[in-house]
Amino acid sequence: MENSIYNPAIGNFGSQSGATTLAYLLAVAFQMFLIIASLAFVFFFITAGLSYISSGGDKTGIEAAKNKIVSAFIGLFIVIVTLAVVQILGKILQLASLEELIFRIPKPQ
């Protein structure tokens, strides 16, 4: 019997093969990237909206706010396309950790 130390905080993380652990870490890092990018979109969209409202009819202020809104939507589009590409690559390469990059909303019980 092998003597090993079990850490309940991380579960059986690290007990798999190196490739499985690396794939898990990449999936978690990608999920964190998606969350941060989504929060950045919300932040830029709100600040652009406030800039638009507070421009007071100034054409340069309105144009700058519109450009910021367009840039925020382009960034969100890039993030969504990246998620789709990673999921497609996960299906093609049969990597379960990449196929499961879906955010599930918990159902009320």
**pLDDT tens, position by position, 2-20:** 666 666 666 666 566 666 6
Compute CA 23 distance to the chain's CA centroid, rounded to the nearest angstrom.
16
Res 94 pLDDT > 80: no
Within 8 A by CB and 6+ apart from 40, the residues are 75
Residues 37 and 79 sit within 8 Å (Cβ to Cβ): yes
Domain coordinates in residue numbering, the chain: 34-99
Which helix (H) or strand (E) segment holds residue 40: the answer is helix 18-54
pLDDT class of 105 with cuts at 50, 70, 90: low
Residues 96 and 47 sit within 8 Å (Cβ to Cβ): no
Residues 100 and 86 sit within 8 Å (Cβ to Cβ): no
